[in-house]
Amino acid sequence: MKLENAKILVTGGSLGIGKAIARLLVDSGAEVGITGRDRGRIETAAADIGAFPITADVSSTEDIRRTYEAFLDRFGGLDCLVNNAGIAMGRRIDEVTLQDFEDVFRVNVYGAALMAAEAVKIFKAQKHGNIVNIGSTSALKGDEGATIYSASKFALRGMTECWRAELRKHNIRVFLINPSEVATAIGSRDRTERRAPPNKLSALEIAYAVKSVLEMDDRGFIPELSVWATNPW
């Protein structure tokens, strides 16, 4: 895929991994729209990196509809969706509630699926397209206290495999990028981004992973890529 002039939509683009992905894609010549729930943050981020801001919540079907209307009105098409929006919640098994599961799954699972559903309609009509799902190494191995978050990422990984099986015949590539621990604002109540210590990953490493898989010629694709810190201890 050539990134120059490619039309790319990145959810959860106001901070962290999403913003880093959007910035790198803009710097590579792509036309990028970013979504986020906080109008002030998403507009500030967009102005900073040269993207188009869309205030929207991926857990809202109405917001998803508005997102695609706004994006297509601005850019006239879509070449790639990056499903990055996500939330985390740490709970031990004897602490979990149904509401906790619903809150996380509504964004990490249902939101990603419904965003993809709209993108696929466009991609099937034009007979090409790309979906990048930002998963987690928590989709590969569960951890203590991560029942809800890990379950949501296992679900996203499973959905990614299903979409890939459905969509390859339509010339649509579906990628899964699994970051290990990255210093971001996820899990922070006030959405303050944490500073990355020298032995942990930064959002930029994940952005480069996304850029590299997308830039492979359309005849091939990397189904899944996990990015780990070399020595996080």
Q: What is the pLDDT of residues 117-138, one digit of tens each?
A: 999 999 999 999 999 999 999 9
Residue with tokens 């809150």: 103
Q: Is residue 232 part of a domain?
A: no
pTM comes to 0.93
State pLDDT tens for residues 171-207: 999 999 999 988 765 554 555 666 767 888 999 999 9
Q: Residue 221 is part of which domain span?
A: 7-227
Sheet architecture: strand order including 80-83:
52-55, 31-36, 7-10, 80-83, 129-134, 172-179, 224-227
Please give the share of the chain, as a percent, with pLDDT higher than 90.
Answer: 89
Band of residue 93 on the pLDDT scale cut at 50, 70, 90 = very high
Whole-number Å distance between alpha carbons of 35 and 53? 6
Task: Determine the angle formed by the axes of helices 16-27 and 39-49, rounding to 10 degrees.
Answer: 30
Whole-number Å distance between alpha carbons of 19 and 14? 5
What's the confidence (pLDDT) of residue 193? 61
Q: Is residue 2 part of a domain?
A: no
Q: Is the pLDDT of residue 230 over 90?
A: no
What's the confidence (pLDDT) of residue 231? 79
Give the CATH number for residue 187.
3.40.50.720
Mean pLDDT of 78-92: 96
Q: Is residue 61 part of a domain?
A: yes
Residue type at 176?
A: L
Q: Is residue 67 part of a domain?
A: yes
Task: Determine the angle formed by the axes of helices 98-105 and 147-167, rounding to 10 degrees.
Answer: 40
169: which 2 tokens?
């015949």
Assess whether 149 carries a catalytic annotation.
yes
Q: Is residue 86 part of a domain?
A: yes
State pLDDT tens for residues 134-175: 999 999 999 999 999 999 999 999 999 999 999 999 999 999
Q: Is the pLDDT of residue 100 over 70?
A: yes
DSSP bridge pairs for 226: 178
Whole-number Å distance between alpha carbons of 59 and 66? 13
DSSP bridge pairs for 174: 131
What's the confidence (pLDDT) of residue 194? 61
What's the confidence (pLDDT) of residue 59? 97
Domains identified in the chain, total number: 1
> For the chain, where are the alpha helices, taking DSSP H only?
16-27, 39-49, 61-75, 98-105, 112-126, 147-167, 203-215
Q: Is the pLDDT of residue 61 over 70?
A: yes
State pLDDT tens for residues 41-60: 999 999 999 999 999 999 99
Query: Regarding beta strands 80-83 and 52-55, do their DSSP bridges make them parallel or antiparallel, or are they unpaired?
Result: unpaired
Q: Is residue 1 part of a domain?
A: no
What's the confidence (pLDDT) of residue 120? 98
State pLDDT tens for residues 207-227: 999 999 999 999 999 999 999
The H or E element spanning position 9 is strand 7-10
Residue type at 70?
A: A
Cα-Cα end-to-end distance for the chain: 37
Which of 68, 110, 149, 208 is catalytic? The answer is 149
